[in-house]
Each structure stands twice: as C-alpha cells, then as structure tokens.
Structure 1
Amino acid sequence: MSIRVFAPASMGNVSVGFDVLGGALSPVDGQLLGDFVTISENDANELAIDVQTIGRFAHKLPSDPKQNILYDCAVAYHKTLAKRGLSHQSISMVLEKELPVGSGLGSSAASVVAALYALNEFYDNALSNHDLLLLMGQLEGQISGSVHYDNVAPSYLGGLQLMVEQGNQLCSSLPTFDDWYWVVAYSGVKVSTAEAREIMPKAVDLKTALKFGQNIAAFVDASHRGDSELAAQLLVDVIAEPVRGPIIPKFTENKQAMLDMGAIASGISGSGPTLFAVTDNLTKAEQLALYLQDNYIQNDDGFCHVCKLDSQGARREANRGTV
C-alpha cells in the first residue's frame, strides 16, 4: 500500500491576526503550491522508519534522515498509537519538498501536515481530526520555536482559519470573499521563523493591544457580514510588521507600490519575506504579480503566484508516475 498526500502552503497572521489567523493558498493557474508526502510499507524485519527527500528545495534540508521533520512525525505518531494500545509497522516516507524553507509560506507546517495526514490515512484514521491537529501543532512547534496553529490549521483544513483554542475547539473556519485574489511573492531570501519571533517585542503598549483586538474583531464581523470593503481596510498589522517590515529587503517599498497600483491590502505572509497583496480583479492581480516578479524576486529560488484561498486543505493525491 502506498499513500501520497498534498498539503498546501499557507499565510500566517494575514496581517490582522498575529498568531491567530491563517489561510491556505491555491494558485489560480492550477499548480499545487505545497509539499507532498508518500508513505508505504517497509519490508524491514525490525521496526524502522525510512525517510527520503526529493523536490525543488530538498537540498535545503538536513541530509541525515533522522534530522528530518518527517522522522519526528512518524516517531510521535507511533508513540501515540502505542499509548492507545495500537500497533505500528516499518514504513518508508518520501517528502517532495516544493516549498522553500523560511519563506513565510508555512513550509514546515506543510511538511508536518502532509506527513501526519498520510500517517493517519496509512493507519486507518486512528486519530481524530482534533487529536491530529494537536499533534501537528506540537511537531511544527519543534521547528518554529513555539506551538501555534495559524499555519498547520489552514494547511490541514483549508480556507481561512481563526484560532480559538478553547476546550476541544482549536480553530474556526471564517467566511471568505470569493472575488479576492491573493498575490504572493517569495523574494528568495530565507527568514528563520524562530529568529523572526526573537526580534518581536516581549510586550506591547495598551494602545496597540486595543487596536489589535479591535481590528481582528471587526475583521471577523465584516467577514461574517460579507463586507469586503471593510474587511480589506482592516488587513493591517500593528504587531509584527512595524518590527519585521524594515528588516525584510525591499519589502517596504514594494508594499507601497502594491497599494499605489490599486491593491486593496498588502502585507507580510507569516514571518516573511513573502509579501502578499489583495485585489478583487484578476487583471489587476496579474499586473501586481508581474511587478513583483520584476522588482521583489531577488534570486532563482524566488517565485510569484496569483492565488485564491485553498478550500480543500490537505488531501490524497495520485502517486507519482500514476494517473
């Protein structure tokens, strides 16, 4: 048996919701922007976990398989099974690493989500959605430095997810605006999530805290009422962007260029350096993408996509080489 799973890229924060809002991304040209994981049975006599990495950004990951997050995912999943009195077996896992590391597009989250989703499928959905999401947050937190769900939740569940984290409810799906296009441009410069969090202030003043709370509450309200104009106006980051924006090469001037060209909002995706811009017009989105391609991309690792929000989240895909 062989199972191949895709998990989409994601935007954390989405400007207005630092650590509490995230959206999954799907390019409008039909490309799949995210990571793939294939899991299959391994004939090893002793219980073993074999991990291999291929794909465009495979060379950015450690060469030692035991330092790969997929190995940690398998170990953690198997331990969870053992605690429940369930057995596990030797497995082989292949990561197709198509998202750049440190891009602000939920790269580690996509790998974790694809791995744990594939493991759960392989073991006949032994864990509930809630338990699986908890495990996803735990594993992604090993890389980013703290447990937060604003990347793993949308990558797993799709759409625009608001983090709730009350009782058994970790997140809630928000209504979205179908006519919005999200232009995302990765410059090619790596930004460590852990380091990006390190430069954040340990506390914010009361005025900033009140503004943050007002903005996210009003954005949720506007989303539920279908008020796209107000929702766009509220896509403002008063927490992270004032600190991170100035240290991301070419971000500030390109964000302003997006707004000058008619974008209804623009900001940092996750910890950066990916920049996003929002418009409700496809022609305008393509114009913004061309501008960013010429002015924001800094090396061959960079790319730009016009996206909608991915409503599906993680899902099984055809195995490589099959139809």
Structure 2
Amino acid sequence: MNNSVRVFAPASVANVAVGFDILGFALDSPGDEITVSFSDRESGGLKITAIHGADNKLPLVVEKNTAGFAAQQLLRHLGKEDLAIDMEIHKKMPFGSGLGSSAASAAAGVMAVNALLDHPLSKEEILHFAVLGEQIADGAYHADNVAPSLLGGMILIRNNEDLDVHQLPIPDDLYAAVVHPEVEVLTKDARDVLSDKICLKQSIEQGGNLAAFILGLMKADYDLLSRSLKDVIIEPQRAKLIPQFYEVKNAAISASALGCSISGAGPSIFALCKGLETAQKVGAAMEKAFTQAQIENQLYISKINQHGAVVIE
C-alpha cells in the first residue's frame, strides 16, 4: 500500500438541459484535490487535518464533510475504519456554482482512500460511497454530479436508487464552454421554484429531445445535438434566478453554440460546441454578456473529461 495519495476530481455539469437529474458530464477543470496518508497517531480513524481554499466554510468534522463522510463509509464497508488516516482537502472550485463542488470533494475523498488501500474496489463499486458523501450536502441520494466526477464522461443515470449508471459515447470534437457568474443561487431555492406538475405536451417534447440528444451523441450528429438541446421544463422555471441568463444564452447561440442552458441548479451556464475554436468564441461571448452587466465571472473551456477522478501523486 502507498503511504500517501493525492487525487483530483473534476467539476461536472448536471442535467445537460434535457436530462434533469439523469444526465451529467465531467469537465477538465476546475476541480478539487484531496491528499490522504497513513498517520502514526495513537488514536485510529479518519481525521481531516486541514482544508485549504474554503474560507472556513467547510467543517473539519468527518461526519459533516462530504469528502470525509464518503471516505469513512468506504472504510467502514471494508472493515478498516480503525486505521489512522489523515485527510487534507484542497478546494479549488467555487461553492454554490452549479458545478458539483460538493460532489467533486466526495468523489476525490473516496477515490483517495481507495487508492491508499491499493484499490480494493473498482470505481463503479465506490460510487455508492461517494453518493453518500454528496448526500451530506443536499440531503438527496443522486449521482448526476458524483458519477461524472468519479467515473468521467457523459453519464446517463437510469435509476439513482440502484445507481444504474451508464457512460454515453462522446463525439471527438465536442467541447463545453462554462461560465460561472459571481452571483448566488441556493440549491434549495432552485428546487423550490420547480412545479411538480408538467403538461403532456411538455413531457412528450422533453422526452423526444432527450432521446434525440443521446442518439446524436451515438452518431456524432452535431446538427441533431443542436436541435435536441432544448429544455422546455426546468430552464423556463429557473432562468429568473440567474441575472442576464437569456442575454448570455442568446450570445452563446449567436456565436454558434450547439445549445446553452443552466448547469445543475445554477448559476453557472454551459454551452456545448463543435470544436475548440467555436467553444472559445462562444465562451468569450458569454463572458462579455455578463461583463457588460457588471457581473464578475470565470470561464472554463473543456472537452468532456472521460477520466473523472484520477490519482495525481
């Protein structure tokens, strides 16, 4: 076994417009890094020794921390919860961004401990424990951020309860432009604005868009992807929570994005694009729309990250 392991887990975009709570994909950056190491402490168990870059917003208590709890549950499952292990968390992505910050921490935490113990379980087998960690943050057992962050790729979640998750094929030239504005959207508020009723016409249209989007990925049909990336249920309800949303979306579409929508619960906005040059052009247009409204923002350009969480040292 290693004496120390450092793991990076990437940010993720959930929902992907047409797949509310059932689609998500991983980015190359930003992301979180976590280091775990065996300790010579007399007292056993997992201990979070330091959290960097979080402005004292995250708890050091293992049971209240997404990374700590996920790792602890894995150790308990393996019958190794008495091992003295120290964990150091490096938060390198914004909170409440709609980019799966807590999920990245959970994925990195469970991946790091699994690697420290010389990989007794596969990534697929540790997904459950990462989801348990994410559940600490939002109270729900769902994998639309955790699964992409841990496993990589574009993930379809057929069923959250059973973690029936599947990686979808990714066209070679598919890129994402993601802009995170410096505004706050609470996940609770983003959930509260949603109606629990939809009309039959909306259900049919959204179902057709989801099916066609998956087919577009499989066939690398960018025109079909573009026609399909239209959310007729969730986006219209949440758009009002994000200042300049439609201005940013229109700027992305005008710059040749395949489609543009809200990342997770927001406030980040993502656009899928064909080719790096187009993604850069689209990202610049989205940035400009926010900047003209005097809203600070950060731009991330990325292919779909197909590796997910990785050991970096």
**Amino acid of the structure 2 residue aligned with 1:310:** N
Q: What's 2:102 paired with?
A: 108
C-alpha spacing 1:186/1:135, structure 2 compared with 1 (3 Å): same
1:149 to 143, 148, 164: 143
Query: What is the identity, as a one-letter code, of the residue corresponding to 2:43?
Result: E
Cα pair 1:143 1:194 within 8 Å, conserved: no
1:81–1:88 Cα contact (<8 Å) kept: no
Task: Give the match for residue 29 of structure 1.
Answer: none
Q: CA deviation at 1:90?
A: 1.1
| Per-residue CA distance 1:89-109 (angstroms, 9 max, x = gap) | 011101110111110111111
Residue among 12, 21, 28 paired with 1:10: 12
Which of 293, 300, 309 aligns to 1:305? It is: 300
Is the CA contact 1:35–1:99 (under 8 Å) kept in the aligned structure 2?
Answer: yes
Q: How far apart, in 2, do the equivalents of 1:262 and 1:143 lie?
A: 36
Aligned equivalent of 1:74, options 68, 71, 87: 71
Q: Secondary structure at the match of 2:17?
A: coil
Matches within 5 A, 1:84-233: 86=80, 88-165=82-159, 170-233=164-227
Cα deviation code 1:178-218 (max 9, x no counterpart): 21221100002232323322322123222222222221112
The alignment partner of 1:33 has SS state of strand
Say which SS state the counterpart of residue 98 (structure 2) adopts: coil
Please identify, of 281-290 and 107-116, the stretch whose mean Cα deviation from structure 2 is larger: 281-290
Relative distance call for 1:312 and 1:129 in structure 2 (3 A) is: closer
Q: Which residue of 2 aligns with 1:24?
A: 26
Matched position secondary structure for 2:121? coil
The match for 1:284 among 278, 282, 287 is 278
Unmatched 5+ stretches in structure 1: 27-31, 319-323
Residue identity over aligned pairs, in percent, reads 35
Answer whether contact 1:53 1:97 (CA < 8 A) is retained. Answer: no
Could you tell me the TM-score, scaled by structure 1's length?
A: 0.88
Deviation (angstroms), 1:60: 5.8
Out of 25, 44, 47, which is 2:44 matched to?
A: 47
Counterpart of 1:22 in structure 2: which amino acid? Answer: G
Give me the TM-score of the superposition, normalised by structure 2.
0.90
Q: Which stretches in structure 2 are left out of the alignment for 5+ residues?
A: none
After superposition, residues 306-321 of structure 1 pair within 5 angstroms as 306-318=301-313
What displacement does 1:283 show? 2.9
Number of aligned positions between the proteins: 308
